Structures are given as structure tokens and as C-alpha cells.
Structure 1
């Protein structure tokens, strides 16, 4: 351990810790989770993809014990010693596990009266905005906050290529034991290299092929956009965040799960889906469920990144909530089983289906159950909500979706956050959604809730529902399409066109185009429209392009 002599400010010291594992160096192909996350890291802003956590310090733990605990974590887990060699501008093909290396810990003394949580948040936000060097950098950035030379809080910035949320929670539990002077048995879960080997096996290949079929079944004929109405515009990624805490909600969830025989997750997911469906004024909700791969045998304690979406299509058109809960649990299990996939092939599938349908899949609704990442003893130590329920607004987060539910805790106190796009739910409506979710859980804990034609959801929730002007909106297959949005899409794709008219005639979406000075054919027009389609969630490519002056008409596909 050595102090870095240069670059330090009077406010902190940077310590370099060296580690050496007894395990040999190893190398192998990427896991499917690593491959998926690296693609996301290369595509999205670092502040969105990098994660953060604050780890409490065991009472009485001194600085040397804390530093030794961090070194031990690095020596215990191959994922923390993993790098992805290759040029920064190319997607890596291999993972390499080091036997020895180093990482740094910033030690930050707190000023008198300074809030440790606020200082940790500032450190993490600054660290999240800086991309990790995947070929060389340790995947965790640490800042140990001290008061009078005693550690009080550990701030952590996490690279998603090596660690997902569950793995980070498992590391936190180990940190608490090690920093308190305890010992741990050797890890028994497979390493990332071992996971990759299993995924490359014959059985692993069968699983990935089955996942591709599952995704294609949903993408091919379910709604590409859940929310389609007059309010929906461009999808900004910085979404307001509402935090909700409720002890009554946890008790109601427990009663509902016991009464229906379903899991807590299935009950919450069904209630979330039916409220989203009500807001969208449609029966089918296509949603992505994150943290889905922990359901695979032997991977519950895996330290690594397994983060791949499970794709669910929940049909809320049923007579009552109990039926929907059972249906949702079955859909969720199927989605989780098919959440191990080749990301490159999934993205190609999304492109291929978009070309066939003329509409692109939009990830409008997301759920992320992170309740397993918070140790029970830590959750139990949190103070109870001061009010029932306790609602608090937090700074906006970069979240590329329209509606997202993060579940943090279900036992003792229900804790969740809602990320909501203002076009879907403004702040007042987001609070209505949170209260509606709690009321629905309370009812589900005591009796069945009527859905269908006499649904109790509208009076229970008070939520707005989608409004679609009949002159502008048409249903094409399972999609609701805004004719004005289609015209805007065409103007974006064909900027030199003199005139564009979009009509719905004989169950066909038709674009009549005066191309202006630039020669145009239906095929060229369609190619340009498909290239411009991302981000136009309420539009789709026309089914027929009509051009003047004898250039003819063309139909690239038939969606009827």
C-alpha cells in the first residue's frame, strides 16, 4: 500500500492497494452477459451504464481493516480481476483474468458537520460520468469517507461489464463481514470464465436458440410501443424519480401473495402491468424485466454480470386480478428462462422485425426487482417511514425508457422507485400511480379485484388514460399509429421532398410523395424511412409509397 505522491489535493489521499490471488490467470470467451453489457457501455453514456453504491462501515472498523477487506474481495473473485483486452474502438472478443494487480482507494476526510451520504453521492456521480478502461482498469472505484481518521462510509462506482446489481449486493455482504474482522468460506459459484464455457456448450447453445424464438414471437406481433397517444413525443432519457416507502404496502403484499399462492414479484408485476395498461388504454403490455438471469441453476451467488433483459408480454384482458397474477407469474417464468441470449443476434432480430413490420420495438415499460441485492440485516436497520406512505422526489436519472419500476425491498417495508417520462406521467400523476399501486395491493391482500368491462382500476387509481384523436390515430395490426407522426417521420427521412401526404385508405397506410429535385423510388423512400425510424415511437413506415409523374407505386410489405 502506498500513497500517491502527486495529484492529491489537501482534501483527500489516494492509496494504491496491491493484490495477488492464489488462483492462476485464465482466459476465455465473453459470457453472454458481459457481451451484452459491453455493447451497452459502448453505445450509451457512461453516467447511465456505470452504477453506484454506498456501503456502510461496520462499527469500530479501522482503516487498515477496511483496506484489507477490499484487497481480499479482489483476491476472492475472478470478476474483479477481469479485463477485456483489445483496442478501445473495437468490441472485445475475450476476457482475461489476472492473478495479480492493483487498484486505488481515495480516502476523503469529512469536514465538521458534513453529510457523508451527500459527499458519497457527489463522488459517485463524478465517477459515473467517467468511462472505465475495459482493457486495463479495476472495475470498482472506491472512496472511503472518514471522520477523525475513522472510516464512516464507503462510496463505490461500479463497471457494469464485470458486475451487475445482485453481484454488487453480494460483495457488500462480504465487505461487511471482512471489514468487521470476520472470515468467509471459499466461493462456490462458477467464475465468469466457467459461465462462458457452459454457455458455449451444446445445452447452452440450445438455450440461446430458444431465447431467440421467444423474443421473435413477442416482437413479431405484439405492440411495438406500449404508450401511443396525443401526449407522447420524443423520448428524453433524463427521467424524474419518485421514491416510495410503505410498511402497510409490505404487509398487503405479503397477504396478497399468501392468498393467491403467487410470489411477491408476480403480485407486484401484475399490479404494475394492469396500471400501465390502464394508462396506455390497451390490454397488452410488453415489458423488459431486468436482473432476470439469477434464476438459472447455480448462479444465485455468481459474482459477475448476468444482466440481460427478460421480455414479457402481459395480457391484462382477463376477468380479475387473481387470474392476471397467475398469468403474469407464468409469463415471467417463461421470460426469465429465455433471458440468456446472444445480444448481437437479438439486436439483429429487432432490426429484421422492424423492417418486416415497419415499426421499431420501443422499450417503454421496464421493471427491475433489486430486492435481493440489499442484505436483510441492512434493510431491517433502515428507519421506518416517517409517514404512511412516504413519498420523496429524487434527482432525475438517465433512464432510456418511459416507465420504470425499481423494487428495492419487499419484507417489512415495501420500497420502490418510479422513473416516469412526463409525457406518460407528470409528477402529480406519478404520485397517483404510486398510491394506486399501494391501494391495489391492499385490496389484493383481502379479496379478488374485478377487471374486464366492470374493472375497478379506473375509480381506484384516478389515473388518466390515453387519448387518441380519431382523425389522427389508426390501429395498424397491434400498433396505434399517429398519422401526423408518420408525416413527421417522412419529412425527417426525405428532407428534399416538396410535399408529403399520409392517408389511411382501405386498411392501408399510404404515403403520397412529391420527391422534388431528388430522384426517388418506393424502395429508396422506404430505406430512408427505416433509417430515420428510431425515436419515432408513435409512427411506422408506410405500407405503400405513391410517387407522381409515372414513377409508379410500390408496396414494400403488407401489414394487414
Structure 2
């Protein structure tokens, strides 16, 4: 498991339906190397014959490769409703490419492990964790969306064994990485278990590497860390104590209880307040001309920074995650040239409850953090970040469908679509010690390594990989916000800020000393409207594409669009619907607050003015805020 494995999957935010910003987290995850299974309509636990056809995307087998069938038989089974995390990730799986959802990683192998022993350990792992034995059969609705989870007591899975020939360690690592990257492109069938796929790299009967591809509906990053730890112990011949963490079936029951429903409702109200009142965007830069694309990613590793981070934590009494969140937020606010409220998405947020720390399943949903960055010094901002993140984490267990509808409703009412511009993904607790310790120490301090990055619907993301021994993080940036040189400068500024904070409070007014002055990417056509900077030229382009010729006026802080038409059915409501539909990807634009429609009729000119907002949507939002 490399840092790239982690940021390219877990951080891949994560399920975007057309014209939707995916508000809930991601990680990555199932099919079989030979293809996707047909839906299983038999009773739970009934084993079907293997009738799967080869998948054309599967890696071509080599003559030396072989397939081994592993049968499992566990004591537990059952069926029940989906967890909220499962529901969210199934929506992502149904809309995204497999490589954006599946998570590949190379698991450590105990020295001297044989292939037969490894296969036994894999069988025991699947039998141990119900989430791996879960399928999601098609539901009764027209779209077939699953409405339940089925835990199978028995079944089988195929393991590919690849002969390593005489490869040395570096070539073995490269081979395992190639196998993983190829395997994630093969979808994992929701209607078939298990929710994981394995490839063994061996020399004869000696197991050298284990490549796993995990279905995100079966395990998120933190759960994968538990699986890795359990696998290592089982492969080493150890007996594990019974699982005590809640299973997905138990979690679903708790979420559907009266208390669980109240918590989800409170989470929805939190999102409604933040989306309805906070700034919809962070960065206002003329370089932003379309959706995020062509990202760069920089892996930063520093032993000195780990010491500085620990010193700051001791001095202010905060966790490393909170300190890094505050430091990152301070630099983002400075770089964006704005002090005040900052909205960030925090992934991997739902492990804050102690009873869920070892849960094997998917809890991947965003926490929406609203942080006031107008603080005197970093210490004060750290205190605010602690409170804001706890509040956000507590309100991060949500109904995905309701949140996506909320994003649409708020975009309709405010005329600006929430853009997941700034993301934090703390993966430090999801990387097992055996994996972290296997990494070579940094060759320099700091060590900066450019990495490939997948397309992400974000402008800037901090993925925290390791916090002890070495501070390792990946900064992913859209060049419309930070070009490669600026990305390196931002990363070095974060290290410099930690070093300064280790000595004492750092005035935020002194940030230009570590990051330089704020970059003013705004021209004279930018205005601050409803808490967000808006480019009037971008608004003009939005209106031209959506409703054609028009006249735009900014009066008393409101955008007003005047439109002439001969269409008797075209009024403010139709105009607003068309403009909102054209909003996705236009982070620097906003729909007008009012429309003045002048209609030419046989009897003369009619004028209709109004906001164009649907009263039902406005009323629906008013019940949440």
C-alpha cells in the first residue's frame, strides 16, 4: 500500500451523479479477475455454479499464472437494510468508473509464508468478517437500486497466483503495483460476494506479495487497515479473538432505530445550515475556467516535521489531525485572499466514535467543516478547528440521497452550487504499522516526490498519510488554483508553519513570511456576492449559454438579469431552471437573484419579474434551517 494507493482511491471524492457534487466520502472497491457475476436470485447462502464469462478488461493471463478456488463456510449469515455508508457507496459504484471506486493495495506478507498457508489465511479472513461475505441484490424499484444487504454463510472465491520468476524485491514491488492497477479497472459485482479480490505473487510455493482489490461497499480505508492486520496475524499462524466491533447488519439496525434517525436528521440540518449560509466556493481566481482537471500531486515526507507536529500537539493540547487541519486551513485562507468562514470537506470522518474504530465495513461519508479563519494566531485557530471538526464529525452520518437532493435544492435557492474545493483526508490511522514501517526512510528532509494523480472533483486536497516517525502527506492541486511550483511552495509553507508553531504561537498576520503575499487573481469584474467572490464575466458567460442574449445588472448586492423573449411560456422560473442546470463546473459564476423577462406579444410587451425560485423547494429548505 503506497501513499498513491491511498490518495488515488480513498480520497477520490467519490461518487458524482450528473450535475451533482458528491458530498459524501470515498475510498475505493469488486468483480472477479474473470468477470462480473450474474445476479444471484437464489436463497441467501446457496452456492451457484461458476458461470461467469471472461471480462475483457481483466489482465491477460500468462502461461505461468494459475487460478485457485477457495471455499469458505462461516457460522453467521443474515439480511437487513443497507447502512448509510453502503447506500452512499453503492450510488458511487453505479455512477463512477471502477478505478475511481475500487481500492488496490499490496499487503505485507509474514516471512516464510507458503501459498497454501496464505490461502488458508484468506479463507479465514473472509469467514471472520461479514462485510466481505455481503452482497447487494437488485431491489424492486425500476432502477434496481439495492435495498438490502445479504450476508452469505458460505461460498467460494477465486485467487490468481502469479509466478514471480527470478524478480528481485524492486521488480516484485513493481509487478505487484502493475497487477493492482490493472485489477481495479475490473468492476466488482454488487450482487455477488465476497467484496474483495486477491492476487498472489509467488515463487513456487513461497508467497512473496499479496495484492488485494477491495470493494468500497465492503470496506473503506480504515476497515482495510483492520483487514491487513488480521491477514498478517492469520498468515503468521496466530489465533485472533472474536470480532467485537459492530457488523454492518448491527450498524444498519442502529441507524434505522429512532435514535439513529434523529442523528441522521440532525446531520442533514447541519449540512443545510452550512450549505445555506457558508461561502459556496473558496478560491476566486481568474485561472478557474472550468471543472477541476489536470491535477498535480506531491508526496512530502519529513522526519523533522513529525517532531514539530508532536511539539505543537503537546503545547496546545490538540490531536495531530486537528493541528494539521488548522494549519492547512490557515494557508488556504491566506492563499485564497480571504479571512472568515471557510468550508472544507473532511473524508474518513466517521471513525470518531470509539465503538466504530475497528468496524469492518464502509463508513465513508464527508464531514462538512465550517471554520472561521479570522483568528489572531494559529493557536486560536487550532482551538476553533477542534470544535468545528468535532461538530462536523458528529453530523457526518447521513442519508446520501437526501444530501444530494439538499445540494440541488440549495443550488436552486442560492443560485450557486456547492463546490467541494478544499478537502482534507486523514489516512494516518488507516495505514497499519507493518506497512508504514516497510517504507524506506526519507532520503532528504523534506523529501518531495511528484506523483501521478487521478482526476478529482476538488481544487485542493491534503491527504495525511503518516504522522509518527515521519510526517508524510500528499498535496493534490488543480493547476487552476496552484500550479506545480506553487504546489511545492504551499507544501514547504506548511512545514515551515509547523516548525514555527512548535516554538510558540504564530500570528496569522505573519503568514506572508512563509507563503508569500496572497495571490490576487481577481480583476475589476469580481464582486463579493452572498459570501462568495463572483466573476461577472463568468456570470455573463453562464447566462449566455443558458438563456441567450441578456442584460446583467448588479444592484444593491443582487444580480439581476433582464431577458427579452417571444416565448409565452418563458418566465423567471424557466430562466432560473435553465441557469441552474448550467452551473456545474462554473465555480466563479452565480445565478441571478432576480429575472426581468420582457415578452413581446401581439398585444404589446409584457413584463414579468421574480426570483424564479420554486416555492416548494424554498419551503422544503426552510424546514431544515
TM-score of the superposition, structure 2-length normalised?
0.84
Q: 1:11 to 1:89 in 2, by over 3 A?
A: farther
Q: What is the aligned residue count? A: 549
| Residue 590 of structure 2 is aligned to residue 535 of structure 1 | no
- Pick one of 328, 333, 337 that aligns with 1:272: 328
Which of 471, 488, 495 is 1:438 aligned to?
495
In the TM superposition, residue 112 of structure 1 has moved relative to its aligned partner by 3.3
Q: State the alpha-carbon separation in 1 of the partners of residues 325 and 110 from structure 2.
A: 35
Conservation of the 8 A alpha-carbon contact between 1:433 and 1:463: no
Displacement of 1:194 in angstroms is: 0.3
- Per-residue Cα deviation, 1:391-445 (whole angstroms, up to 9, x for no partner): 1011121322111111111011111111110111111111111100100011111
Offset of residue 145 of structure 1: 1.1
Q: CA separation of 1:199/1:159 partners in 2, compared to 1, >3 Å: closer, same or farther? A: same
Q: Distance in 1 between matches of 2:520 and 2:215?
A: 38
The answer to whether the aligner puts 1:60 opposite 2:117 as a matched pair is: no
Checking the alignment, whether the CA contact within 8 Å between 2:198 and 2:211 is kept in structure 1 is: yes
Whether contact under 8 Å (1:28, 1:94) holds in the other structure is yes
1:554 and 2:606 equivalent?
A: no
Distance 1:130 1:398 in 2: 18
Aligned counterparts of 1:43 and 1:537: Cα–Cα separation in 2? 22
Q: How does 1:266-415 map to 2 (within 5 A)?
A: 266-283=322-339, 284-415=341-472
Q: Which moved more, 1:378-387 or 1:207-216?
A: 378-387
Structure 1 range deviating more: 506-515 or 258-267: 506-515
Deviation at 1:226, TM superposition (A): 1.0
Tell me what 1:167 maps to: 223
Does residue 85 (structure 1) correspond to residue 140 (structure 2)? The answer is no
Are 1:482 and 2:555 counterparts?
A: no
Structure 2 equivalent of residue 450 of structure 1:
507
Match of 1:417 among 451, 458, 474: 474
Is 1:27 aligned to residue 82 of structure 2? no
Paired residues of 1:83 and 1:134 also in contact (CA < 8 A): yes
1:73 and 2:125 are equivalent in the alignment: yes
Three-state SS of the structure 1 residue aligned to 2:503 is coil
Residues 432 and 462 in structure 1, CA contact (< 8 A), matched pair in contact too? no
The Cα offsets for residues 201-247 of structure 1, whole Å up to 9 and x where unpaired, read as 11111111111111111111111111122111212355222111110
Secondary structure class of the residue paired with 2:146: coil
Mapped pair 1:101 → 2:158: no
Q: Deviations over 1:155-194 (max 9, x none)?
A: 1111111110000001001111111111111111111000
In 1, Cα distance between the equivalents of 2:474 and 2:70? 36
Contact 2:301 2:447 in 1 (8 A): yes
2:110 corresponds to 1:39: no
Note if contact 1:16-1:104 (Cα within 8 Å) is conserved in structure 2. yes
Tell me the residue number matched to 1:505. Answer: 555
Where does structure 1 lack aligned partners over 5 or more consecutive residues?
none
Q: State the distance in 1 between where 2:235 and 2:611 align.
A: 64
Q: Tell me, in whole angstroms, the C-alpha distance in 2 between the residues paired with 1:295 and 1:38.
A: 23
- Aligned partners of 2:424 and 2:104: how far apart in 1? 19
Identify which range, 213-222 or 547-556, moves more after superposition.
547-556
Alpha-carbon contact 2:226-2:358 (below 8 Å) kept: yes
The correspondence of residues 192-203 of structure 1 with structure 2, limited to 5 A, is: 192-203=248-259
Listed as ranges, the gaps of 5+ residues in structure 2 are 1-33, 35-49, 55-59, 619-625
Q: Secondary structure at the match of 2:417?
A: coil
Corresponding position of 1:18: 71
Report the CA distance shift for 1:328/1:360 in structure 2 as closer, same or farther (over 3 A): same
Asked if residue 154 in structure 1 is aligned to residue 210 in structure 2, the reply is yes
Alpha-carbon distance, 1:118 to partner: 1.9
For 1:507 and 1:268, the matched residues in 2 are separated by 36
Q: Distance in 1 between matches of 2:66 and 2:426?
A: 37
For the residues of structure 2 that align with 1:148 and 1:96, how far apart are their CA atoms?
Answer: 37
Which residue pairs with 2:313 in the alignment?
257
Question: How far apart, CA to CA, are the structure 1 residues paired with 2:288 and 2:608?
Answer: 31
**Post-superposition offset of 1:149:** 4.2
Q: 2:298 maps to what in 1?
A: 242
Give a deviation string over 1:73-96, Cα, whole Å, max 9, x none.
100000000000116952210000
CA deviation vs aligned residue, 1:79-137 (integer Å, no higher than 9, x gap): 00000011695221000000001111111112434612222222222222222210114
Q: 1:466 to 1:168 in 2, by over 3 A?
A: farther
CA distance in 2, matches of 1:401, 1:491: 26
Aligned to 1:222: 278
In the alignment, structure 1 residue 461 sits paired with structure 2 residue 515 = yes
